[in-house]
Every structure is written in C-alpha cells, then in structure tokens.
Amino acid sequence: MIKLTGVEKKYGRKSILNGITFEADKGQITCLIGINGAGKTTILQAIMGLTPYQKGEITIDGEKLSPAVMEKVTYIPDAMTLLPKMRIKDAFQFMSDFYQNWNGKRAKEILEFFKLQEDERISQLSKGNTAKVNLLMGLAMDADYILMDEPFSGIDIFSREQIADVFSSHLVEDRGVIITTHEISDIEHLIDKAVLLADGVVRKEFMTEQVREEESKSVIDVMREVYKG
C-alpha cells in the first residue's frame, strides 16, 4: 500500500500541497483526478522523492523511500526522460543494467504490442509513440506499484485506446497503479478508486463501484458535486 499522510508542500510562499492524505492499494487502480495545477504530478514526484515536501509522511508498504523501493515502484512521467540519442534497445540495456526487476521478455512483448521497433531513436519518436515508450519502460519492470502521470494527455485516439487496453490487461495484473488524469471518461470503468483533488487537498476519495451501486452516481456526477456544489 502506498500511503500519504498529511503531505504539505510549499514552493516559496505558494502552497502546492495542503495536507494530502490517501491510500493506494496493491491490486487496484487508483486515479488522481483534478484540473491542471491541482498538484497531481507533484504528488507522484513526492512519492518518488523527486521533489521535496515539508510536512507529512509517505510510505510504500510501510517503508520510507530507499534504493530498494525504486525496484518496487516505477514512475512513468508524462515527459520523455530517456536520452534523445538513445535507441529503444539502448534504453532497455540501461534498465536491465541497473534494475534487477527489469523484465526484458516483457519489454519485447510490449514493444510488439505497441508496434514499435527497438532500433528507433528516442529523439525520432512521435508524441504518441513517446507516450508508449514511456509506458513501456514502466510496465516492463516487475514492480509492485506503477505511477503514471497523465498517460492520455496530448495523444491521438488510437494511441489512447491502446494505452487504455493496458489497464485491463495482464500487464498491470496484481499491481497497484496510481494514475493521474484531468479527463476521466476514457477510463471511468477501468479504475477502482478515485481521489478528487483541488488546490492541493483531497476533496473526496471513493470506490467507483461503490458510488455506482449505493448512490447510483457516475464518477462524473460525484465530480460535479465536489467541484461545483
């Protein structure tokens, strides 16, 4: 379980996170929803220790961030973080050099699924393919948790469909997934839990099937209540 308790972050005088508390379980897809600037990306970065926070605590299966946790959690940012002159296969080599949990067989499998070539250079990839390679680098790790930042932003409809398919596939089976988005409609039925954010606080945390079953509300109905009500 990834657990955030009262995480606060200020940048200068500006508050970015004002006491974020939520949990993301293994075996579930947790979706952080909020408009841009709500602090979604910052939360994922804070989990990975890529940005400092002043108060609160983040634990992964009860542990604080450590080198071992980096094998356990993999973060897929919404920007390319591989070197431009690398070929996809060089990136694979880099990952297999450093991570015990890198699953080369699965990397090849996903490469095929996305119809990418391992000789392609990172700098030559289209926007859609960049998103796919990013996803691939994360999914090919035998990690317990995957954090994905806006996997659907700014890419074409077919890439979106392919990426959405990943969520119901064996690729995320039994893993804990945290995904951020400002656009829920593509994945409304794919997520287990929704965490609604605004201005650096969690406005509501709920299981999607539960609000459908007990309150006959769609995820968007709940969002409307929270953000407009």
The binding site for other proteins (CB under 8 A) comprises 27-29, 45, 48-52, 67-68, 70-71, 74-75, 77, 79-84, 94, 97-100, 122, 164-165, 167-170, 173, 188-192, 209, 212-213, 216-221
d(CA 208, CA 222): 10
Q: How far is the CB of 111 from other proteins (least distance, A)?
A: 19
Question: Following DSSP, what letter does each residue of 135-159 receive, concatenated?
Answer: HHHHHTB--SEEEEE-TTTT--HHH
Quick one: 75 or 114, whose CB is closer to other proteins?
75
Q: How far is the CB of 18 from other proteins (least distance, A)?
A: 19
Quick one: 20 or 187, whose CB is closer to other proteins?
187
Q: How far is the CB of 194 from other proteins (least distance, A)?
A: 12
Q: What is the DSSP letter of 64?
A: P
Q: How far is the CB of 202 from other proteins (least distance, A)?
A: 21
Quick one: 156 or 165, whose CB is closer to other proteins?
165
d(CA 115, CA 180): 25
Quick one: 100 or 228, whose CB is closer to other proteins?
100
Q: Where are the strands (E) in the chain, listed by range? A: 2-11, 14-24, 29-33, 55-60, 73-76, 145-149, 176-181, 193-198, 201-207
Angle at 76 between CA 219 and CA 66, to 5 degrees: 110
